[in-house]
Amino acid sequence: MTEIHVATNGDDTAAGTEAAPLRTIGAAAERAVPGDTVLVHAGTYREWVKPRRGGLSDARRITYAAAPGEHVRITGAEVITGWEPDQGAAWRAVVPNALFGDHNPFAREVEGDWVVQRPGQGPRHLAEVYLDGAGSYEVETLEEVREPRERRTVLDDWTEREVPVPDVAATRRTWYAEVGQSETTIWASFDGADPREHEVEINVRRSVFYPTEHHLDYITVRGFELDKAACPWTPPTADQPGLIGPNWAKGWIIEDNDIHDAKCSAVSLGKEASTGHNYCTERGDKPGYQYQLESVFIAHSRGWDAEHIGSHIVRRNHIHDCGQNGVVGHLGCVFSVIEDNHIHAIATKREFYGYEIGGIKLHAAIDVQIRGNRIHDCSLGTWLDWQTQGTRVTRNLYYDNCRDLFIEVSHGPYVVDHNVLASPVALDNFSQGGAYVHNLVGGAVRLETVRDRATPYHLPHTTQVAGYAVIEGGDDRWIGNVFLGGDLAAAYPQGTLGHELSGYGTAGYAAYPATFEEYLQRVDTEGDHQRFLGQLQPAYLARNVYLTGAAGRDGEDSPVVLEGAAGIAVREEGDAVYLEARMPEGFDEARHAAAHAGELPRVRFADAEFEERDGSPVRLETDLLGEAAASGTPVAAGPIASLTAGSARIRVW
């Protein structure tokens, strides 16, 4: 086991010792073998690190780490000088195309499957111009740079309402570019600043830490600032490169990093191109849904299984200011853990739009654990799309998102437990087979069936496809949650997407059977598949608490409806976050034993139980604060077992 040292005063022909360090991380990556640690010393490294080898096991990793106590930045950006005044507010710089190699982000558009072009808006590009680290806005004409206009609001793509631009000053930082045969000309405005007196960078490299080969396993990346990659749009039907990621491998650990300013996706645990690459957009002959379905079977035939793919750990990272996703992945994310990350400011610039955006956006999140994360100020907090099976979303803090959680066209079993969902829209549930246990649900809940596309489900704890089906709705379990009412017109304005399908509490399940026996009675008619078509599945409800106008449905076991003032707020104070809660009189009498696996009926389509990844019954006794309730001990509804009536201020991060 060798330590290979890298420093900004090093030499790539040196020995790589602490006394004679290498100059680039890439040179160290050429030398590193299983068991080695690449120790990088303070400074800025402008390179795309492409590991040559991976480790051999969890015990024989290759580790890349910042030296203890030293700030190490690896960036996909280059400094641009030579700015000259142009007309109006514009400045002009000329960059030789040789700087970009074969990836000029000023020439490459944000494009691919499920990109949605807004009416009247031209394409956006993968490039970005940064002033002292802060990004800017691409505009469509040179005149808009010369005479920039403040845009105080933009259209929110999820609720179709006008929302404030997060940084109004940034709307006066704009750029426009023209790409010639040998050089690229950039015009930019800097909100009155003189770029000759500041650091101006442009993103140049597609990725910052990302192999070009598959199956380089067991690599750890720790303690870096990683920023400013010109990475492309990452739909589930395409190659999914991010600013950092394993590129179709197993056993990576990405921890304790500050990861930001990916043009599209920051951390990618996703698929690769051989299983399909934007065929819907390029060929136009079949829907993206069909190509995505095909990619699942193609991947399985090429080694998509637990032995070769997934089981990554993404933890304690600060992930922010990215255009599409904080963490993304289709197929390659299986059996992974995403925990204790702080994710925010994802897709809030709203420069481009498509149906693949979120703080965390995963497809085929089989046996993935998403726990202990703080996710806020995102266009969408977490979006689990297709094959959410064996997935656990637990002890997360969601607030100030346009929507907190979206689970789409999945059959379960999956568990959402002990979370705070404090945004105006808490949950969009376009799935079946879920268990929602001990959550604090402060926003609207939307239920929707999806009968126009069938998606796969799997043999438990494997990637083996067992069948596929449409989403009939229901087969959900809601136990021990606290619901608050709200202003539906504010969450979903009248006439906009989701308004008629949303509400507060579980009242949306009014037409669903209350038991499996009732469901069987409804389908006790002639015919085979015909008798199941359009039949809503059971909703199993127990011990939920409804406040401030939130409502349940008839037939629930031991519901509690309380009058009186109640509310929640999430407050940030420096690095700390507090939950301020006010529970009405009578809340203390609503205490029951914590939910347990025996209360969760098996999932109908997947014919599977709610289990831990090792196949044992799922354990639900640990609350948001990490406190585990003793067996049989009464606990409060919601994610904090000790919460009582009255006012409380509890540190939750």
CATH of the domain at 439: 2.160.20.10
Q: Residue written as tokens 């505009």?
A: 139
What's the pLDDT tens digit per position in 437-491?
Answer: 999 999 999 999 999 999 999 999 999 999 999 999 999 999 999 999 998 888 8
Of 28, 59, 74, which residue sits at a domain end?
A: 74
Supply the DSSP string of 535-593, one letter for each residue. PPPPEEEES-EEETT-B--TT-BS-EE--S--EEEEEEETTEEEEEEEE-TTGGGG-EE
Asked, for residue 172, whether it belongs to a domain, the answer is yes
Q: Do 429 and 313 sit in the same domain of this protein? A: yes
Asked, for residue 98, whether it belongs to a domain, the answer is yes
Q: Residue written as tokens 């990350």?
A: 341
469: exposed, middle or buried (C-beta count within 10 Å: 0-12, 13-18, 19+)? middle
Asked, for residue 210, whether it belongs to a domain, the answer is no
- Strands 253-255 and 313-315, bridge-based pairing: parallel
Q: Nearest CA to 447 among 392, 510, 376?
A: 510
What is d(CA 272, CA 94) in angstroms, rounded to the nearest whole number? 35
Asked, for residue 509, whether it belongs to a domain, the answer is no
Of 203, 235, 259, which residue sits at a domain end?
A: 203
Q: Do 324 and 372 sit in the same domain of this protein? A: yes
What's the pLDDT tens digit per position in 345-368?
Answer: 999 988 888 899 999 999 999 999
The size of the chain, in residues, is 653
What's the pLDDT tens digit per position in 222-232?
Answer: 999 999 999 99
What is d(CA 474, CA 510) in angstroms, rounded to the nearest whole number? 11
Q: Do 288 and 415 sit in the same domain of this protein? A: yes
Asked, for residue 505, whether it belongs to a domain, the answer is no
117: exposed, middle or buried (C-beta count within 10 Å: 0-12, 13-18, 19+)? middle
Asked, for residue 22, whether it belongs to a domain, the answer is yes
Q: Do 31 and 119 sit in the same domain of this protein? A: no
For position 490, what pLDDT does the model report?
81
Q: Do 9 and 137 sit in the same domain of this protein? A: no
What is d(CA 296, CA 497) in angstroms, rounded to the nearest whole number? 29
What is d(CA 268, CA 360) in angstroms, rounded to the nearest whole number? 10
Asked, for residue 495, whether it belongs to a domain, the answer is no
Supply the DSSP string of 467-525, one letter for each residue. EEEEE-SB-EEEES-EEE---HHHHS-TTSTTGGGEESBSGGGTTS-SSHHHHHHHT-S
- Residue 447 tokens, joined: 């239920």
316 φ/ψ sector (left φ>0, alpha ψ -120 to 50, else beta)? left
Number of domains composing the chain: 4
What's the pLDDT tens digit per position in 224-266?
Answer: 999 999 999 999 999 999 999 999 999 999 999 999 999 999 9
For position 156, what pLDDT does the model report?
61
Of 175, 203, 231, which residue sits at a domain end?
A: 203
Please say whether the beta carbons of 344 and 380 come within 8 A: no
What is d(CA 390, CA 365) in angstroms, rounded to the nearest whole number? 8
Asked, for residue 360, whether it belongs to a domain, the answer is yes
What's the pLDDT tens digit per position in 163-175?
Answer: 666 554 556 899 9
Q: Residue written as tokens 């585990």?
A: 628
Q: What is the mean pLDDT of the chain?
A: 94
Q: Which domain holds residue 64?
A: 3-74
Confidence of residue 1 (pLDDT cuts 50, 70, 90): confident
Q: Do 192 and 325 sit in the same domain of this protein? A: no
Kind plus residue range of the DSSP H or E element containing 79: strand 77-79
Q: Do 242 and 287 sit in the same domain of this protein? A: yes
Q: Do 174 and 120 sit in the same domain of this protein? A: yes
